[in-house]
Amino acid sequence: RKEVEQDPGPFNVPEGATVAFNCTYSNSASQSFFWYRQDCRKEPKLLMSVYSSGNEDGRFTAQLNRASQYISLLIRDSKLSDSATYLCVVNPSGGFQKLVFGTGTRLLVSP
């Protein structure tokens, strides 16, 4: 079983739609969780950290369910510029930033 699993998609949505991605992780002792965004042939960039209480940044909402070991990302009012691959990322040990990446979920927002 992969340490971090995501639905690869692609998710095809129209502009303005709300879309949700889920991710599961296998190590119940994992400490930190993140969503990164990766554009085609580019490096990943941090979108947001994920906290147990849930957190929101503009149109983006992230939630963590430790009991079920899953992480979610909700994007409201999708924009064309949101088209990218969204990577679920876990720090399993809580140590010095040794990150484990999911394969990513591809989002395509169309006009």
Q: Which stretches of the chain bind other proteins, using CB under 8 A? A: 4, 8, 32, 34, 41-46, 49, 87, 91, 96-104
Rounded least distance, CB 109 to other proteins, Å: 20
Look up residue 16 and give its DSSP letter: T
Nearer to other proteins, 59 or 98 (CB): 98
Rounded least distance, CB 40 to other proteins, Å: 11
Rounded least distance, CB 95 to other proteins, Å: 9
Q: Please, which residues have CB within 8 angstroms of residue 67's CB and are 6 or more apart in sequence?
A: none
Q: Please, which residues have CB within 8 angstroms of residue 31's CB and are 6 or more apart in sequence?
A: 91, 92, 93, 94
Burial label for 111, CB within 10 Å (0-12, 13-18, 19+), is exposed
Nearer to other proteins, 4 or 109 (CB): 4
Nearer to other proteins, 8 or 16 (CB): 8
Rounded least distance, CB 77 to other proteins, Å: 26
Q: Residue 61 and residue 96: Cα distance in Å, rounded?
A: 26
Nearer to other proteins, 47 or 109 (CB): 47
Q: Residue 64 and residue 67: Cα distance in Å, rounded?
A: 9
